[in-house]
Amino acid sequence: MSAVEVLQVNVLNNPGFFRDPFCFEITYEVREALQQDIEWKVIYVSCAKDESLDQVLDEVLLPADTVGRFQFTLEVSAPNPDKIPSDDLLGITAVLITCSYKDQEFIRIGYYLNNEYDEAEMNENPPSPPLLENIRRHIFSEEPRVTHFLHSFDSPESYLDENASHPSYNSLLDTVEETQHSKLKNSDVQSSRMNFV
């Protein structure tokens, strides 16, 4: 069981301009009280091909020591345009919201977003230097990509270790139809980054 589950994320001030802050209203549920704070991060993918250019827009701590449902609004400033390769400033990219506990990520929510000038002509011939005031940002808020990562949280739960499962049972399962026991883990633990178009 994930000790913390994201119930809903509302993307506020969307669409907006490039320089507008990102604003997410996050509703989460603490299902098991945790000893330490959980950490939320908002990461802007500057360049799909180069992970090192990812910008961490903000990191915030939230308490998770009470079981219940909670809501907060996470407002983070826009990415630094100087750190974005000029080719990647416009077009489709992504923003990621991650939540980690004890420096280990357990949920990642990705949104594709599109940056473009409000005038079609400018999109075809982007001005240089870019006119940030005129770049509009649209987050595809209807299609979040949610990835869960197994996390032991405060208790070392043995099922995280695949080998702890009864070996013969697993081997038997392999012979069963693929659909029946395709392990969630395999399907969920994909690449830690989103795959881009």
Partner 1 sequence: MGVAMNPEWLTHRVRQGQPHVFSVDIQNTENNPRVATCGCDGIVRIWFLQALVDASKEPFEKEPERDTDSVQMEENSSKENSCSNHKIPENALASSLSYHSRSVNMVRWSPQGQLLASAGDDFLVFIYHKEEGRGYSPFGSNEPAPVENWRGRKLSGHSNDVLGIAWSPCGNLLASCSVDNTIIIWNIHSDTIITRLQGHESFVKGVSFDPTGRFLASHGEDLAVMIWKTSEWRIEKEIREPFKESRTIEYQKSLFYRLDWSPCGRDLVCSNCLAFCEEKRTHAAVIFRRDCNFEKPIYFRSPVPILCVRYSKRMYKCYKDKPVNDENESYSALALGTSSGALLVWVSKSSKPLLILKKACKGAILDISWSADGYSLIAAPAIGAPLYIRFTEEELGYVLNAKEEKDFFDSVRSQLGANYENIPLTQSTIQLEMERLYAKHIQEGNDHMSQHQNNISQELMEREKKSTVHPSEQQQQQQQREYNVGKKRRIVPKCLSTAANPQESIAENSRLTTETNHDENHIMKSSSSNMNGYTSIETSISVSPNGEEALAKRNMDYSFGPKKEEESPSNESSFFLQDFHRKLDSYTPTLGEAWLFHSQETMDNQYSSTKLPAFPMEWSKHRVIDEEEKISLRVENDELCCIRNDTILWQAALGKNASPVALAGEKTTLYTAVTSNNMLHLFSIFGSRLYAPVLLNARPHMLQVLKGYLFVILVNGEMSLYRVPQVSLVLRTSVGPILPEQVVEKMGQPVFYPPLVSKQEDVCLTLYNGSSYLFQKNLGNWICIADDSFIHSEFFHINFNTQKENISPKYLLTWFRKMAGKTTVPKLSNVKPAKVFLETLAHLETMMASASILHSKEEFKKLLLCYIEKLCSAQATQIPSRIERLREVLDDILQGQQGFFSRNLESTEKRNFMLQVLLPAVSKNRQLQNIAEEYVEKIKSM
Q: Return residues touching partner 1 (CB under 8 A).
A: 1-2, 5-9, 27-29, 31-32, 37, 39, 58-63, 65-74, 109, 144-146, 148, 150, 157-159, 164-166, 169, 172, 175-185, 187
Least separation, in Å, of the C-beta of 17 and partner 1? 24
- Answer for the pair 118, 109: CB distance below 8 angstroms, yes or no: no
Instruction: Name 46's Cβ contacts closer than 8 Å, sequence gap at least 6.
Output: 53, 54, 55, 79, 83, 84, 85, 88, 93
Q: Which of 39/88 has CB closer to partner 1?
A: 39
Helix boundaries (H) for the chain:
120-124, 167-175, 184-188
- Answer for the pair 70, 28: CB distance below 8 angstroms, yes or no: yes
Least separation, in Å, of the C-beta of 85 and partner 1? 28
The one-character DSSP state at 35 is S
Q: Which of 119/174 has CB closer to partner 1?
A: 174
Least separation, in Å, of the C-beta of 195 and partner 1? 14
- Answer for the pair 159, 185: CB distance below 8 angstroms, yes or no: no
Least separation, in Å, of the C-beta of 137 and partner 1? 21
The pairing of beta strand 38-45 with beta strand 91-101:
antiparallel
Q: Which of 169/196 has CB closer to partner 1?
A: 169
Question: Can you give the C-alpha Rg of the chain in angstroms?
Answer: 20
Least separation, in Å, of the C-beta of 186 and partner 1? 9
